[in-house]
Structure 1
Amino acid sequence: MSHPASRPACPPATTTGTPAHPTALPTVGVVGAGRVGAVLAAALRGAGHQVVAAAAESDASRARVAALLPGTPVERPSEVARRCDLLLLTVPDDALPNVVRVLASAGALRPGQLVVHTSGRHGLAVLEPAAAVGARTVALHPAMTFTGTAVDLPRLAGCVFGVTAGPAERGEAAALVADLGGRCTWVAEERRALYHAGLAHGANHLVTLVTEACEMLAAAGVDAPADTLRPLLHAALDNALAQGDAALTGPIVRGDVGTVAAHVAELRARAPQALPAYAALGRATLDRVVTDGRLLPIRAARILEVLDAAVPVAAPAPSDVS
């Protein structure tokens, strides 16, 4: 994979679909043409890479290849790996270790080949079987949700990729991110799980939170819960990203014990499925506003009593040490 030596270590974003190189680019193969893999391969194709093969086991994956990578042959994973210079492994986290081991033991990987996975949780250790045969390895995770359709392609512009790479592969990893239209943030090998937990907590749990809020509003008789929440959530998210804890508003920050108690009573009666999350997030919010001095501890203690009465905190498991 040849890139100009003057290329910056973490280049600015480019527009997806615009070739970033004046010279021939490495051929690409993708194992796991799911929502992420098919889209990233299509973006690289738009940047001038030739996608020579894809592994797609399900009907949905084969349909994505047909839609996003027309004309690309669908092959077995080992054949995909043998045919390409740049191998994208876009399989589920738990499947990744076995996929790498199988490809390496089958002789499908070779010295000098660039093997890249897109798992947020894993770093370079999971690619050790590939490194052992002389392949160069990179962990490259897009911090974005994917639909697996062409809608995702323009969304890659400016997308942040959490990248872990050795010193010799950093330039190529950064160039690859630029070809995808994104920008990179470097994540240490030992911090990959924490990096991924932050993304999952912020994005995945946000979906659960918003869905539960919609259910509460529906139970309250609101005709269009999503439309009611949309402007409030947009403002809250923008403020939280810009201001952090300073953006907190509501009854806990104000110390409104009676309001929190009324919430708990109604949730217990009409939306009990949301009560554990409400109590847990209420406790977390209390900790933050007491720490920054906006709520007096005595007031916080009264709110905590209400939350603990609604959903008691589980006692820690007894130690096995005798």
Structure 2
Amino acid sequence: MKNTRISIVGLGQVGMSFLNVLSVKKYEIVSVFNRSKIDSSIASKFPGTTFKAGLPSKKGAIGNLILLTVSDDAIEKVSRDIASHFDNLVGFMFAHCSGVHSSEVLSALKQKGAKIASFHPMKSITESANSFQDTWFDIEGDEEVLIELEQLTKKLQAKTFRVEPEAKPFLHAAAVVASNYLVVLADLVSKISSEGNVPEDIALKAMTPLMHNTLQNIETKGVAESLTGPIERGDIETIQKHLNNLQNTPELLSLYKVLGNEAVKIAVQKKGASPSLKKIKDLFS
């Protein structure tokens, strides 16, 4: 680990968070490259790091592990452009941080002798992030890079799991549901509450601890055992009342039914089929 010298290409939210976290963990950040000029106020905070606009073009300017933290759509072009500057990249490791792309998107670098991998943090990242503790990274690619990344994540007090290249887009879609759609659910909570004249901000403050508690249950008990409420109990009249009250908001009613149908399936998995669950399913249909 002492010999790991790191460069970062792309100083958006992900790149900035890696710069912060790796510096705190005393990694040597040799250089940071960005499409546009980097603000001097950022550079001044990291006196041991060279900041440059543009892409790496000389071996002496980069570490042995280069993290490509550019946008998903830019990864392939950036890797090709970097590769075009070098006769060979033997001894260098490149890893991108996209959730949807596999390491194959870095093939131009591999053709020059570099080892490649994907290294995706399953975390909502902001520029001010200063820790990856307990974050899971899905990784795949060349064995040499995977070993290096596994060692790095241990030092960050994070975790990794290896995936096959073809699993990446499915896993990323699942991560979108886990993160982005949780925000959508919170919005749904506030909108339904507002139909009863409960202020949206109060509803969210009241429901957020419930959401936290449910997530904790999922973590410790699993999905099926964490399902509670009227569907799990088979309370037909309660569900019917919900549906009646949402008749004037077709959008909310439709979402409630779609999600309710999935909850019925989980309830059947947990408790087995029952006449009440069949009736609730019919209500959602």
TM-score, normalized by length of structure 1?
Answer: 0.77
Residue 187 of structure 1 deviates from its aligned partner by 1.9
- The answer to whether the Cα contact below 8 Å between 2:189 and 2:204 also exists between their aligned partners in 1 is no
What is the distance in 1 between the residues matched to 2:88 and 2:175?
31
What is the distance in 2 between the residues matched to 1:289 and 1:184?
32
Partner of 1:188: 164
Any idea what the Cα deviations from partners look like across 1:162-205, whole Å, max 9, x if unmatched?
A: 12132333321212223434222222223222322332222221
Any idea what the Cα deviations from partners look like across 1:274-322, whole Å, max 9, x if unmatched?
A: 33322221111111222333441x43332223222xxxxxxxxxxxxxx
Residue 108 of structure 1 deviates from its aligned partner by 8.4
- The answer to whether the Cα contact below 8 Å between 2:227 and 2:266 also exists between their aligned partners in 1 is no
Partner of 1:222: 198
- The answer to whether the Cα contact below 8 Å between 2:35 and 2:53 also exists between their aligned partners in 1 is no
- The answer to whether the Cα contact below 8 Å between 2:36 and 2:53 also exists between their aligned partners in 1 is no
SS at match of 1:220: coil
Partner of 1:118: 97
Partner of 2:276: 299
- The answer to whether the Cα contact below 8 Å between 1:264 and 1:275 also exists between their aligned partners in 2 is yes
List runs of 5+ in structure 1 lacking aligned partners. 4-20, 309-322
What is the distance in 2 between the residues matched to 1:83 and 1:64?
21
Higher relative contact order (CA 8 A, sep 6+): 1
List runs of 5+ in structure 2 lacking aligned partners. none
Any idea what the Cα deviations from partners look like across 1:127-153, whole Å, max 9, x if unmatched?
A: 21111110111211112111211xx21
1:97–1:199: structure 2 CA closer, same or farther, 3 Å change rule?
Answer: same
SS at match of 2:130: helix
- The answer to whether the Cα contact below 8 Å between 1:65 and 1:72 also exists between their aligned partners in 2 is no
What is the distance in 2 between the residues matched to 1:117 and 1:257?
50
Partner of 2:8: 30
TM-score, normalized by length of structure 2?
Answer: 0.86
1:132–1:249: structure 2 CA closer, same or farther, 3 Å change rule?
Answer: same
What is the distance in 2 between the residues matched to 1:277 and 1:307?
10
1:201–1:134: structure 2 CA closer, same or farther, 3 Å change rule?
Answer: same
Partner of 1:75: 53
Aligned CA RMSD, in angstroms, stands at 2.7
Any idea what the Cα deviations from partners look like across 1:218-257, whole Å, max 9, x if unmatched?
A: 3322241122102211211111221121111112112222
What is the distance in 2 between the residues matched to 1:63 and 1:211?
39
Matched length: 280
- The answer to whether the Cα contact below 8 Å between 1:177 and 1:183 also exists between their aligned partners in 2 is yes
What is the distance in 1 between the residues matched to 2:81 and 2:219?
42
1:58–1:289: structure 2 CA closer, same or farther, 3 Å change rule?
Answer: farther
Which of 105, 124, 127 is residue 145 of structure 1 equivalent to? 124
Which of 202, 210, 218 is residue 232 of structure 1 equivalent to? 210
Q: Kindly report which structure 2 residues correspond to 1:56-67, keeping only aligned pairs within 5 A, or say none.
A: 56-57=34-35, 62=39, 65-66=42-43
SS at match of 1:164: strand
What is the distance in 1 between the residues matched to 2:177 and 2:51?
37
Which of 240, 247, 254 is residue 276 of structure 1 equivalent to? 254
Residue 49 of structure 1 deviates from its aligned partner by 2.9
1:75–1:305: structure 2 CA closer, same or farther, 3 Å change rule?
Answer: same
Structure 1 residue identity aligned to 2:197: G
What is the distance in 1 between the residues matched to 2:59 and 2:181?
35
What is the distance in 2 between the residues matched to 1:161 and 1:93?
16
